[in-house]
Amino acid sequence: MEKVYILDTTLRDGAQSPLISFTPQEKLEMAKALESLKVDVIDCGYPALNKDEREAVQLIAAEIKGPVLSVLSKCDIKELETAIEALKDCNKRRIHLYAPTSEVQLTYLAGLSKEEQLERVLHSIDIAKRENFEVELTLEDSFRAEKSYLFLLAEKATERGVDIINVSDTVGIAIPSMVRELVSEIKEVVKGDVIISIHCHDDLGMATANTIAALEAGARQAHLTIAGVGTRAGNASLEEVAVALKIHGEKLGLSSDIDLKNLYKTARIFSKITGYNIPPHKAIIGDSAFAHKVEYMQLAVVREAKTFELINPEEIGYPKTRIILSRYSGKIMFKNKVEELGYQLDEDKLEMAYLKFKELTEKKREIYDDDIIAIIEDVLLTKPKKVTLKSYFIKTGSDEEPEATVTLLVEDGERKATSTGDGPVDAAFKAIDEAIGMSGRLLDYRINSVTSGKDALGEVFLRVKFKGKEFTGRAIATDIIRASIEAYLNAVNKAL
């Protein structure tokens, strides 16, 4: 198996995403996670950009000793000196030079002719080599450039001792066949020990496919980011390429050193540091990546996970397959869940619980464990309801102490009580306590919106202690005060 070097550019290209930013300290934390993930190279940043970039590189260089550390620089003496300075105390160091190659970028980005660009590239390689840096040259916008110019740059850079030539699909325009062709051609030009690398953007949603195509054609380094974040539509995502190499490695004769067990954890650390929410449908690491909602698939996955999963989630450190209970789940999966939660219900009770579950699926998209527990408790403790709500009245305002009046129907008629409280819900609970002559201590109170829009249903889940014992209550209504009162009465009925 040949090794594919993984260059992680989350801290450089990833940080260029409008959604991502790192402080220097946060970059260091992320670099530690990448080191544990066993990436080969960390693209730490672009020192010429600002003071924070330089500080981050220095912090990383002082602590991270495993991967090669790389910094970006234009082929420009001043930028290059800044980059060299930023990594001066690092042993495993790389200067990553970039050079626009397409006509449009040469004209409007660099303002250089092809000859001037070539000269600058070669001069920059000479300087970085003299300073004992490994040198990577990115042929920016390769797929819109004249091939003859790319070949010339690659050939001359090789003669000057460049270590890595990175073919970059800067605007994400390529398709796999184009990538295969260009990488093979550049490989022919450079020959020898120079490593061909690939950097793909996802503007057409092909970054991962293009990266794999490049590896098939002989590239041996891939630029990747966690969750595929990066400029505009992002870069090829590390977890996708790493898992693709795991699954198809044998056929491709390729493998990486990525510690797959750390994949999910690294993505979570990234999300925590940056506040970036990984989209639920993100391949490999998203919340839905190993979630099954439809009963026939759930049944199959429970029998044999391979029916619908391409890899065992444990192999990438993913918590576990999620069986989502919803309106698409039938009785078998419901029963499985009840048993998984540690309950044994006889046939009648199971049927009752299942009917309540079905009712709830009409109102909620996903049914959580807490919902199932509340349903089971309801069923197990079902006695005829002793107390029900007849009506309530709430008085509140910015300058008024909230006051609630509740009228309850009980076995021997009606009970009515009024109370004030810290808020309208608290006042209503106190009024109920007074009406039933039993005082409850609220231990947990949660409110969720279960549908969207102005008339969304609010779900209240609470835990309350009466006479030293805990009871749960749950209710759903468009009015959250009503849902709170009903949930509280639900618990009261269990306690009576």
CA–CA separation, 334 vs 329, rounded Å? Answer: 7
Taking the complex as a whole, the smallest distance from the CB of residue 168 to ligand KIV amounts, in Å, to: 4
Tokens of 401: 């102490």
What does the angle CA 129 – CA 133 – CA 136 come to, to the nearest 5 degrees? 85
Q: Which does 40 bind (CB under 5 to 8 A by kind): ligand KIV, Zn ion, none?
A: none
- Number of residues near ligand KIV (by CB under 6 A): 9
Q: From residue 381, how far is each of 344, 357, 441 by CA, in Å?
A: 14, 16, 20
* 275, 291 Cβ separation under 8 angstroms: no
Residue with tokens 């006042």: 427
> Which of 140, 163, 239, 486 contacts ligand KIV by CB under 6 A?
140
Q: What is the nearest approach in angstroms of ligand KIV to the Cβ of residue 33? A: 21
Q: How far is the CB of 80 from Zn ion (least distance, A)?
A: 19
Residues 175-214 touching ligand KIV, rule: CB under 6 A, are 199, 201
Q: Which is nearer to ligand KIV, 138 or 490 (CB)?
A: 138
Residue 382, C-beta contacts closer than 8 angstroms, at least 6 positions apart: 352
Q: Does 141 bind Zn ion (CB under 5 A)?
A: no
Where does residue 225 rank: exposed (0-12), middle (13-18), buried (19+ CB within 10 A)? Answer: buried
The least distance separating Zn ion from the CB of residue 9, rounded to whole angstroms, comes to: 7
Q: From the CB of 167, what's the least distance to Zn ion, in Å? A: 12
Q: Exposed e or buried b for every residue in 367-379, given b needs 16+ CB within 10 A?
A: beebbbbbbbbbb
Nearer to ligand KIV, 200 or 209 (CB): 200
Direct distance between the N- and C-terminal alpha carbons of the chain, in angstroms, rounded to an integer:
70
Q: Is residue 484 part of the contact set for ligand KIV (CB under 6 A)?
A: no
458 bridge partner residues: 449, 477
Of residues 7, 8, 13, 475, which one binds Zn ion by CB under 5 A? Answer: 13
Nearest to ligand KIV of 99, 480 (CB atom): 99
Instruction: Candidates 6, 7, 11, 13: give the one binding ligand KIV (CB under 6 A).
Output: 13
| Shortest separation between residue 16's beta carbon and ligand KIV, angstroms | 8
CB atoms under 10 Å from CB of 177, counted, come to 10
- Give the shortest CB-256-to-ligand KIV separation in angstroms: 19
CA–CA gap between residue 225 and residue 240 (Å, rounded): 10
Nearest residue to 357 via CA among 382, 336, 374, 339: 374
For residue 434, what are the contacts with CB-CB under 8 A and spacing of at least 6? Answer: 417, 418, 419
With CB under 6 A as the contact rule, the residue among 170, 208, 321, 493 that binds ligand KIV is 170
- In the three-class reduction of DSSP (H, G, I as helix; E, B as strand; rest coil), residue 329 is classed as coil
DSSP state, 110? I
Nearer to ligand KIV, 141 or 378 (CB): 141
Backbone angles phi, psi at 74, to 5 degrees: -70, 165
Q: Which does 138 bind (CB under 5 to 8 A by kind): ligand KIV, Zn ion, none?
A: ligand KIV
What is the closest distance, in whole angstroms, from the C-beta atom of residue 199 to Zn ion in the complex?
Answer: 6
Residue (27 or 96) nearer to ligand KIV, CB = 96
Q: If contact means CB under 5 to 8 A according to the sort of partner, which of Zn ion, ligand KIV, none does residue 102 touch?
A: none
Q: What angle do CA 283, 285, 328 make, to 5 degrees?
A: 70
* Least distance from ligand KIV to the Cβ atom of residue 281, Å: 25
- DSSP for 48-63? TT-HHHHHHHHHHHHH
Q: How far is the CB of 217 from ligand KIV (least distance, A)?
A: 18
| Stretch of residues binding Zn ion (CB under 5 A), selected from 11-19, 181-189, 283-291, 332-340 | 11-19
> What does 429 interact with, of ligand KIV, Zn ion, none (CB < 5 to 8 A by kind)?
none
The item of ligand KIV, Zn ion, none sharing an interface with residue 55, based on CB under 5 to 8 Å by kind, is none
Residues at the interface with ligand KIV (CB under 6 A): 13, 72, 98, 138, 140, 168, 170, 199, 201
Residues at the interface with Zn ion (CB under 5 A): 13
